[in-house]
Amino acid sequence: MNLEELEQFVLAEIETYRYVVSDGALGRAFTEKVERVIVEMRAALVRPEWRTVDTFDPTAAGGQGEPRRCALVADDGTYQLFYDPIEDEFGLANGDPPAMIGVDGDAVGCWMAR
């Protein structure tokens, strides 16, 4: 996937994201929070660009894995959302240089985990 396709993919994922609460779920639904986080995610989107990111390896000391070329897609000043083409998934990172923090999966789900 090239960077332009990635940008369109992330925009489509945001646009089509639906928060579903299972029947019988305990507690209150996070409907307002989800709506707020989606707005925050849209505001944090950047034009995708390749960056070097330290990956997360739960078996390594401190969780730090190997540096890898990933595409930055969102940045709120504290957390960054990257696409890892080797794993074919998104991951949340922070720091300078950025390091993955072990939150990975779909773009919206990762962003909500901040």
Give the Cβ contact number of residue 102 at 10 Å: 15
pLDDT above 70: residue 5: yes
Taking the C-alpha atoms of residue 22 and residue 27, their distance in angstroms, rounded to an integer, is 11
Structural domain spans, the chain: 3-112
Q: Is pLDDT larger for residue 106 or for residue 19?
A: 106
- State the Cα torsion 24-30-35-41 to the nearest 10°: -110
pLDDT digits (tens, 9 = 90+) for 17-68: 988 888 888 888 788 889 999 999 999 999 999 999 998 776 666 666 789 9
List the one residue out of 104, 111, 112, 33 whose CA is nearest residue 74.
111
